[in-house]
Structure 1
Amino acid sequence: MVRGLSILTCAVLLSLGPTPVAAAAPAGAVCDHLPATAPAAPAGAVVVRAADNELAVRTQESPPGTTFWLGPGTYTLGGDPYGQVAPKDGDTYLGAPGAVLDGRGTLDGRGTNMAAFTGRARDVTIRGLTVRGFAAPQDQGVVNHDSGDGWVIENNTIEDNRGAGLMAGARQVVRGNCLRDNGQYGLNAYQSWDGITGLVVEGNEIAGNNTDDWETRVPGCGCSGGAKFWAVNGADIQHNWVHGNHGPGLWADTNDNDFLIVDNTIEDNDAEAVFYEISYNLVLRDNVFRRNNIVAGKARAARGDNFPSAAVYLSESGGEPRVPARTSSVQISGNTFEDNWSGITLWENADRFCDSPANTSSGYCTLLVRDRSTCVQPGIATRPLYDDCRWKTQRVAITGNTFRVSDALCGDGLCARMAILSNYGSYPDWSPYRGTVVQDAILSQGNVWRGNTYSGTWTYVPHDTSRRVSAAEWQSAYGQDACSSFTGAAPSC
């Protein structure tokens, strides 16, 4: 008997069973729990006080490589929309606990200042600040507004801003931040000149972004979610908690390459957990995907649209050995999928290729063609342009994953699906990919499911949206999911 407890009390405790143990917080659960990285000014730092409102001026007056320490309090940047801090190369900004840089946003969504940290300075560090209330325009960001290279953005809270909480440049490290409730994105990785290389996004909480609901404001803009990546060559995205975003969780859109997305928890996002679009060479491993795409999936089904909207969506994306990367394929392995609207969809739009009016990434071509203007008749009808002018969903291996779904999730059969499909090519009239060319090709481009574990009732969509087959036919007629288990048991071989 436990000392000090009565026999009756012990009996009650025993009847209740073991005390429940709270689930461990996901890696990246940092919002409201950030460490105090600079409680005091380090030696040699320029001390800035909130009451003086001189952060921008002190930055301008100081030489490159200066460290600024912001004491507790709320800092503002004047009444000009272009009131902002323009760091110099190597500058460091350290916030004491309670240091807030405020753009003075209002309830109607407007702010006094558009951006917090701007310019193209290199190797800037920002650590320990809260940045809120700025009003960046669409597709622009508040921190590192101009996508400077080599920035380290660490242990900050960047919240309640319009636009993107932060932009990214080459060699940028985004670590241990709370990126939440921003109007468009938590993070927007885009650079209009050289493109971004060597991006690290690690240990962040990326939550509740796209509060301005951009897809409703600008239908078809493709401009919403937790984090957006455009033409990024090399990104390590690991140990993040990406949840509750109004749109996709992570969206790599247009000629991204060499992404490593590992050990993240991605859950409760309105649209896809991971959307990899006209991009190359991906490792997607050991992540947990829960309850993603339910909002968007239900809305699509309510419209009578039978497209297999999924938690992981590869659109015209695959492995390409001619594009240098750490892998020459797309490897989706060791992930756990629980109660998402659907599992994985591999899609290739037959009408989307270089110089096609149906290419929504206008002005862009594949990474295999230097001049997109060559992707027209008659050249496009012959190799190598016939192959290289279109982004291919190819060389995708989906192995060793666990897919669980509750049969109560949907009653109309439009969820709990796996898919590998294309559309009937029809546009433009000079396209060499008209008819079933791509629908047939995607089934023979090295895309394979193998050794996965399924629980719940799943169906499979091969070739086009009109086909829906059972697990047995998926295996026998289409050669997929060999050595997989459809009963929740371990794979058979």
Structure 2
Amino acid sequence: MTTRPRTAGHRAVLVLGALAILASACTGPQAKEPPKPGDGAAVCGNTQRGPARPPDNAVVVDPDIAGKLTTATQDNPAGTTFWLAPGTHILGDGEYDQVAPKDGNTYLAAPGAILDGRETNRYAFTGKAADVTITHLTVRNFVPPVNEGVVNHDSGARWTLEHNTFRDNSGAALMAGDKQVMRGNCFKNNGQYGLNACCGDITDLVLERNEFVGNNTDDVEAANPGCGCTGAMKFWAIDGADIIGNWIHDNRGPGIWADTNNNDFLIERNLIERNDGAAIIYETSYNAVIRDNLLRRNAWVTGREFAANSDNFPVATIYISESGGEPRVPARTDRIEIARNTLENNWSGITLWENADRFCNSAANTSTGACTLLVDSVERCARPGIAKPPLYDDCRWKTQRVEIHHNRFVLDPEVVGCRVLCARMAVLANFGTFPDWSPYEGDVVREAITHEQDNRWHDNDYRGPWTFLAFDTNTTITFTQWRAAPYQQDVGSSFAPVSE
């Protein structure tokens, strides 16, 4: 298409119009400030109330009839809306008395409606139904086994959970299914996790403005040392998750833990505080954006345990373990970007770690039977193929392409109560020794993570007695050394030895 050239008159009109718009912008309403981390997520004890009257065409569920919710679900077609009247609903006296929703069912709870497992029933809502909605309901006192969940036990797809309270259950209060949406829920004092998102083809989770508090009351890790199975929430093999605006606090263990072949996470505007372990762990996973979060007073318990045992591993607030950006795995980013976060009086800072002995087909890989997303079978990662490209690179979960910028790190040792082994930032690996056929023995991985895998800090602000570890746990350096060759980190960053 041909367009006519603009004349001087046209240009004058455009300029005057632009000036008028600018003047209107200057005198008009001011733009709203963006929400602060955790805004609107203090929902425990204050969740939105459900409808006081049943909607038209809803099936009313009477709490005075034991098992009524189960039978009403069985007796009505898919797509039915159920209104749980005020009171305590029970499912029956059997271990496996439970509700199996049908596709498209909706469960609305009136103010004061509670579903109580009475420490008898294992599960509340089970089965593979899709498009189920549960809102405004309190679910308590169910007793699933470790690693199993109470609600959406079988990970049905496209469930919506809003304004519920999940509390005082064993195991995980909630399992996740594909494209599940969770908004405005309270996850409180559950025995293992608030949320367990595990395995299979689960994509595009939304976790927004929820409160996670006091979870892992059973201290499951103590009974199963090294299980990696505790905290506010745990994710396994999830492709896409938006974790936005949540308040995650006072949990035993970590806050957010993504472990093994997760990809494409956005962790944004969360308030994560006073958790015993790390605020965020991203482990053997790919591609994430971690930004605009406020992290404070995390990892004090874990940090003190390490210090008491004279263990000099850098306990982290954000722990990136064998995880990195990978352009060959589709996501919204091809990096791990950690930006514009405030870390205030946590035990330490950010640790980038890679275990040289942990790779696909190594017995040191605690994710038993799992391979990287770049190799289609565990058996391929063996001699002789693993000793040369492409398997030499693709059989490792690499801590690579991590960019840490425009964060504020504040630590006052008097507040934290630490004298040694805190206030540290780290990029390091171990000396490779296992198995005897490993192509990553010696300093191969140490050199790679420290110098060759595009891990960069820049434009950060440090306040406090921060020190830095590079290459291994025995190499502690100053901020000046950290910025100089051979590390050349934190270009454009500022440092003050006293917190402000």
**CA distance in 2 between partners of 1:25 and 1:372 (Å):** 41
Are the aligned partners of 1:27 and 1:264 in contact in 2 as well (CA < 8 Å)? Answer: no
Q: CA deviation at 1:371?
A: 1.4
Residue-by-residue CA offset, 1:83-132 (whole Å, 9 max, x unaligned): 1000000000000010000000xxxxxx2100000000000000000000
Instruction: Quote the residue 2:80 is aligned against.
Output: 66
Instruction: Quote the residue 2:384 is aligned against.
Output: 378
Are the aligned partners of 1:453 and 1:488 in contact in 2 as well (CA < 8 Å)? Answer: no
**CA distance in 1 between partners of 2:398 and 2:428 (Å):** 12
Within the candidate set 417, 430, 435, 2:442 is matched to 435
Residue-by-residue CA offset, 1:453-492 (whole Å, 9 max, x unaligned): 0111100000000110000000013101111000289xxx
Are the aligned partners of 2:322 and 2:354 in contact in 1 as well (CA < 8 Å)? Answer: yes
Instruction: Quote the residue 1:276 is aligned against.
Output: 282
**CA distance in 2 between partners of 1:190 and 1:38 (Å):** 32
Instruction: Quote the residue 2:409 is aligned against.
Output: 403
Instruction: Quote the residue 1:293 is aligned against.
Output: 299
Q: CA deviation at 1:26?
A: 4.1
Which AA in structure 2 matches 1:49?
D
**CA distance in 1 between partners of 2:274 and 2:342 (Å):** 14
Instruction: Quote the residue 2:209 is aligned against.
Output: 203
Q: CA deviation at 1:27?
A: 3.5
Instruction: Quote the residue 2:5 is aligned against.
Output: none
1:463 matched to 2:476: no
> Where does structure 1 lack aligned partners over 5 or more consecutive residues?
1-22, 105-110
Instruction: Quote the residue 1:365 is aligned against.
Output: 371
Within the candidate set 469, 486, 493, 2:495 is matched to 486
Q: SS where residue 195 of structure 1 aligns?
A: strand
1:261 matched to 2:270: no
Instruction: Quote the residue 2:155 is aligned against.
Output: 147
Q: TM-score, normalized by length of structure 2?
A: 0.91
Give aligned pairs, total: 460
1:76 matched to 2:90: yes
Identity fraction in percent: 58
Query: What are the residue-to-residue correspondences of 1:111-130 with 2, within 5 Å?
Result: 111-130=119-138
Which AA in structure 1 matches 2:475?
R
**CA distance in 1 between partners of 2:376 and 2:48 (Å):** 47
**CA distance in 1 between partners of 2:267 and 2:193 (Å):** 18
**CA distance in 1 between partners of 2:292 and 2:37 (Å):** 17
Describe the shift of the 1:28–1:321 C-alpha distance in structure 2 as closer, same or farther (beyond 3 A). same
**CA distance in 1 between partners of 2:492 and 2:286 (Å):** 27
**CA distance in 1 between partners of 2:114 and 2:492 (Å):** 55
Within the candidate set 46, 52, 56, 1:43 is matched to 56
**CA distance in 2 between partners of 1:291 and 1:350 (Å):** 30
**CA distance in 2 between partners of 1:487 and 1:185 (Å):** 39
Residue-by-residue CA offset, 1:418-456 (whole Å, 9 max, x unaligned): 000000000001000000000000012000000000111
**CA distance in 2 between partners of 1:45 and 1:488 (Å):** 63
Q: CA deviation at 1:382?
A: 0.6
1:350 matched to 2:363: no
With 151-160 and 406-415 compared, the bigger mean Cα shift is at 406-415
1:166 matched to 2:174: yes
**CA distance in 2 between partners of 1:306 and 1:29 (Å):** 36
Within the candidate set 193, 198, 201, 1:190 is matched to 198
1:57 matched to 2:63: no
**CA distance in 2 between partners of 1:407 and 1:131 (Å):** 41
Q: SS where residue 206 of structure 1 aligns?
A: strand
Q: CA deviation at 1:37?
A: 2.7
Q: SS where residue 477 of structure 2 aligns?
A: coil
Instruction: Quote the residue 2:483 is aligned against.
Output: 475
RMSD between aligned residues: 1.4
Which AA in structure 2 matches 1:81?
E
**CA distance in 1 between partners of 2:413 and 2:50 (Å):** 47
Q: TM-score, normalized by length of structure 1?
A: 0.92
1:307 matched to 2:313: yes
With 348-357 and 295-304 compared, the bigger mean Cα shift is at 295-304
Q: CA deviation at 1:25?
A: 7.3
**CA distance in 1 between partners of 2:331 and 2:407 (Å):** 23
Q: CA deviation at 1:81?
A: 0.4
Q: SS where residue 190 of structure 1 aligns?
A: strand
Describe the shift of the 1:347–1:24 C-alpha distance in structure 2 as closer, same or farther (beyond 3 A). closer
Describe the shift of the 1:263–1:25 C-alpha distance in structure 2 as closer, same or farther (beyond 3 A). closer
1:330 matched to 2:336: yes
Residue-by-residue CA offset, 1:224-266 (whole Å, 9 max, x unaligned): 0001000000000001000011000000000000000000000
**CA distance in 2 between partners of 1:96 and 1:411 (Å):** 49
Residue-by-residue CA offset, 1:55-84 (whole Å, 9 max, x unaligned): 100000100000000010000011100010
Are the aligned partners of 1:141 and 1:163 in contact in 2 as well (CA < 8 Å)? Answer: yes
Instruction: Quote the residue 1:414 is aligned against.
Output: 421
Which AA in structure 1 matches 2:258?
A
Q: SS where residue 461 of structure 1 aligns?
A: strand
Instruction: Quote the residue 1:93 is aligned against.
Output: 107
Are the aligned partners of 2:359 and 2:396 in contact in 1 as well (CA < 8 Å)? Answer: yes
Are the aligned partners of 2:39 and 2:209 in contact in 1 as well (CA < 8 Å)? Answer: no
Describe the shift of the 1:343–1:24 C-alpha distance in structure 2 as closer, same or farther (beyond 3 A). closer
1:217 matched to 2:223: yes
Q: CA deviation at 1:40?
A: 1.3
Which AA in structure 2 matches 1:91?
N
Q: CA deviation at 1:301?
A: 1.1
Within the candidate set 448, 451, 456, 2:459 is matched to 451
Q: SS where residue 428 of structure 2 aligns?
A: strand
**CA distance in 1 between partners of 2:168 and 2:478 (Å):** 46
